[in-house]
Amino acid sequence: MPAQNGPPLRRTPLYPLHQSLGARMVAFAGYEMPVQYPTGILAEHLHTRAQAGLFDVSHMGQALLAGADAAAALEKLVPGDIRGLGPQRMRYTLLLNEAGGILDDLMATRLGDRLFVVVNAATKDRDFAHLQAHLGPAVWIDRLDDRALLALQGPAAAAVLERLAKDIAQMRFMSAAETTLDGQRCLVTRSGYTGEDGFEISLPAAGAQALAERLLAEPEVKPIGLGARDSLRLEAGLCLYGHDIDETTTPIEADLAWTIGKRRREDGDFPGASIILRQLTDGPARKRVGIRPDGRAPAREGTPILALGGAEIGHVTSGGFGPSLEAPVAMGYVEMASAAEGTALTLAVRGTARPAHVVRLPFVPHRYHRAYPNQPPQAGESNTAEPAGGTRR
Amino acid sequence: MTAPRFTKDHEWVRLDGDLAVIGITDYAQSQLGDVVYVELPEIGRHIEQGKEAAVVESVKAASDVYAPVSDEVAEINDALAADPAKVNSDPMGEGWFLKVRLADPTQLDQLMDEVAYQHFVEELH
């Protein structure tokens, strides 16, 4: 790695494996992470959509929240219905500030009377300090810094994991199970950040490489780096914290109103509720939308978005090339007058006006494991096209 | 065609009559990864040595391509619009970017020859 300014980069337990696989390592959120393996981002992306990809996401922040009514305590900081989570059920939610801005996005899973949370790598220290400061003395935070996190994503993920743990393919989307994989106790959730069916596996750091190698030995599984992770989540219309959402965007502006539980809307008892509920009623001034450039030129983050008359109405927050679509894709915020599907826009790519259109998200349909024969969805479970998957950087 | 000359920004240039053919090196394409889009200058535009002449985009990022020589763009590789992956598969051949009509071919003299460029790349690692 080239010399970096600031503190030395940390490494995940899978660092030696990445090296032996020939990964190109980059600095990311304070870690040395694989951006791609020798096959390249395009092939890794397409392989994940076709079969199964293994991602090292051990840089992310894992913790258990324990103590008297941790769920009620967490609800003071997020708009999601956490108290209503059934056993082993999980939910995508948002840490909010008092202005309704987003401090981070996270996954919260109910495990008995504890909550398992996974937060973004770049914000984890700040997040855990925020939780510590606001959850109250009755709740304590057990940071799981000695655990690795692997993601196995793609249409073959369930069949692969079923070979290691019988019945795991029966798990429901957005649920958790404690199980043994290759002789190691793991916490498995059926979730992810690719728009595909898949799992995230939390396990002790010491056993991570052995499990990763075991999974990579399956014919459908290839290692996937952060480059394809980003293009996969972009095609799936999923937000990247610090880019598509941050402290200056509210859940309504970010088109994440679906993360606000019904009871929570009625009670209005989360940070920034007055601002957020007013936006919910009156509509926000701007909104995150999907954008398809008409031509071949990708529009990267920061690209100005103009209305047809030439007025600047926002900018691209994530943009690049969608390998599954073989076309450029972008997300960005636009004024409401230009937010409707089909609206023609102009993207100022390096000063050149490029035509584009607002499109529905996701760009590539989600293929989560939502089919429950003879079993209606449970109350509070997202049963629409809402992006209930992960949210990670 | 003359032997190629190279820049520290990983472009190559070689003379084909009075035309200078320009592209990016194999090392450059390997660092970029899968090329998905190439933005080329208009024919007739005057490009300036060391200044941006084109943009090459991988899945991950956009990168500038700098002109190894100064003069007027005579031809661009239209085939890259339909098949930008040619930059990866044949960077020194079918993956060329543009041709410049060169009034002063001595501009190439100050660029690295192949041996010097290989040394330069090795020292990057």
Residues A193-210: tens digit of each pLDDT: 999 999 999 999 999 999
CATH 2.40.50.100 fits B5-123, yes or no: yes
* Whether B34 and A35 lie within 8 Å, measured CB to CB: no
* pLDDT above 90 (res B2): no
Residues A225, A158 within the same domain: yes
Residues A346, A220 within the same domain: no
Give residue-wise pLDDT tens across range B75-119: 999 999 999 999 999 999 999 999 999 989 999 999 999 999 999
- Total domains in chain A come to 2
Q: Which of A42, A227, A298 sits opposite B37 (nearest CB)?
A: A298
Side-chain half-sphere exposure of B80, counting CA atoms within 13 A: 28
Range of weakest confidence among A68-72, A226-230, A312-316, B42-46: A68-72
Give residue-wise pLDDT tens across range A298-354: 999 999 999 999 999 999 999 999 999 999 999 999 999 999 999 999 999 999 999
Which pLDDT does position A4 carry in this prediction? Answer: 54
Chain B residue nearest residue A45, CA to CA: B59
Which pLDDT does position A159 carry in this prediction? Answer: 98
* Whether A42 and B34 lie within 8 Å, measured CB to CB: yes
Q: Is A243 exposed, middle or buried (0-12, 13-18, 19+ CB in 10 A)?
A: middle
Beta bridge partners of A189: A176, A200
CA distance B104 to chain A (A): 30
Residue A312 sits in a domain whose CATH number is 2.40.30.110
Give residue-wise pLDDT tens across range A239-281: 999 999 999 999 999 999 999 999 999 999 999 999 999 999 9
Residue corresponding to tokens 């598969």: B89
Domain ranges in chain B are 5-123
> How many angstroms separate the CA atoms of A254 and A246, rounded?
9
* pLDDT above 60 (res B48): yes
Q: Which residue has the higher pLDDT, B60 or A100?
A: A100
ipTM for the predicted complex comes to 0.91
CA A334 vs. chain centroid, Å, equals 22
Which pLDDT does position A68 carry in this prediction? Answer: 82
- Residue A263, phi then psi, degrees to nearest 5: -60, -35
Residues A150, A42 within the same domain: yes
> How many angstroms separate the CA atoms of A58 and A66, rounded?
22
* Residue A169 domain flag: yes
* Residue A214 domain flag: yes
* Whether B33 and A36 lie within 8 Å, measured CB to CB: yes
Last residue of some domain: A235, A253, A274? A235
Which pLDDT does position A370 carry in this prediction? Answer: 80
Cβ-based contacts of A43 with chain B (< 8 Å): 34
Residue among B90, B88, B86, B84 at smallest CA distance from B37 = B84
Cβ-based contacts of B65 with chain A (< 8 Å): none
Range of weakest confidence among A5-9, A30-34, A222-226, A365-369: A5-9
* pLDDT above 70 (res A360): yes
How confident is residue A375, by pLDDT bands cut at 50, 70 and 90?
very low
**Mean pLDDT throughout A132-161?**
97
- Mean pLDDT, chain A, as a whole number? 93
Interface with B, mutate which of A1, A229, A240, A296 (most B CBs under 10 A): A296
Residues A311, A169 within the same domain: no
> How many angstroms separate the CA atoms of A11 and A24, rounded?
14
Residue among A213, A222, A233 at smallest CA distance from A92 = A233
* pLDDT above 80 (res A285): yes
Range of the domain at A152: 15-58+146-235
CA distance A321 to chain B (A): 5
Interface with A, mutate which of B34, B55, B83, B123 (most A CBs under 10 A): B34
* Whether A41 and B81 lie within 8 Å, measured CB to CB: no
Q: Which of A41, A43, A328 sits opposite B60 (nearest CB)?
A: A41
Residues A30, A158 within the same domain: yes
* Whether A41 and B57 lie within 8 Å, measured CB to CB: no
* Residue A274 domain flag: no
Residues A155, A230 within the same domain: yes
Cβ-based contacts of A227 with chain B (< 8 Å): 33, 59-60
How confident is residue A372, by pLDDT bands cut at 50, 70 and 90?
low
How confident is residue A5, by pLDDT bands cut at 50, 70 and 90?
low
Q: Please identify among residues 21-80 of chain B the ones whose CB lies closer than 8 Å to any CB of chain A.
A: 33-34, 36-37, 39, 55, 57-62
* pLDDT above 50 (res B66): yes
* Whether B60 and A227 lie within 8 Å, measured CB to CB: yes
Residues A331, A185 within the same domain: no
Which pLDDT does position A7 carry in this prediction? Answer: 80
Q: Which of B33, B62, B81 sits opposite A300 (nearest CB)?
A: B62
Last residue of some domain: A168, A201, A235? A235
